[in-house]
Amino acid sequence: MKYGFAICLLSMLHLMCSAQEQLSTEPLILNNMKLKITFGDTELTATLYDNPTTLDLIKQLPITTKLEDYAGTEKIFYPKQKLTRESAPDGYTPSKGDITYYAPWGDVAIFYKDFGYAKGLISLGVIDNNGIEQLMTVGSTEVILELQGD
């Protein structure tokens, strides 16, 4: 009887932890807010995720900066101030179109190719409607990042 209760309790804890893991893998979206990325005659939008790191970046907008190509995989820039890591996971596996913050170096990265798991990488959002194709074709370019309400 004693072992049956312990097994039942462990099973319940496992189910609760599994449910929590599933909840935490789906990012919460910031409602009615988009990131607008403008370069040349091109304007892209991105969906932003509701987390402390993204909110910290929003506080610095608008940002005019030069995006630099890094490792043939991503475009990066350094915000004026480092962003918070509060409540951030240990790392992240980015996909093409993901906007992330690499905490160890303090840079924001927009991935135009899939990449493997990186410790210290925090997801901020994702480029909408395959717009990443336009960004990946330009070299180092000046961009304006600003908040766009719906």
CATH of the domain at 41: 2.40.100.20
Give the span between the Cα atoms of 102 and 77, in whole angstroms. 10
If pLDDT is split at 50, 70 and 90, which confidence band does 21 have?
very low
Q: Is residue 24 part of a domain?
A: no
Q: What are phi and psi of 99, to 5 degrees?
A: -105, 125
Q: Is residue 135 part of a domain?
A: yes
Give the span between the Cα atoms of 143 and 116, in whole angstroms. 26
Q: Is residue 91 part of a domain?
A: yes
Q: Considering the chain, what is the average pLDDT of its residues?
A: 84
Q: Is residue 10 part of a domain?
A: no
Token pair, residue 42, equals: 């091109």
Burial of residue 47 (number of CB atoms within 10 Å: 0-12, 13-18, 19+):
middle
pLDDT in tens, 36-56: 999 988 999 999 999 999 999
Task: Provide the pLDDT for residue 72.
Answer: 92
pLDDT in tens, 116-126: 999 999 999 99
Give which of 120, 116, 117, 86 is closest to 101, Cα–Cα: 120
Q: Are 113 and 72 in contact (CB under 8 A)?
A: yes
Its domain, for residue 106, covers 29-149
Task: Provide the pLDDT for residue 141.
Answer: 86
Output the pTM of the full model.
0.80
If pLDDT is split at 50, 70 and 90, which confidence band does 14 have?
very low
Q: Is residue 74 part of a domain?
A: yes
Token pair, residue 81, equals: 């101030």
Q: How many CA atoms lie within 13 A of 11 on its CB side?
A: 6
Give the span between the Cα atoms of 21 and 38, in whole angstroms. 36
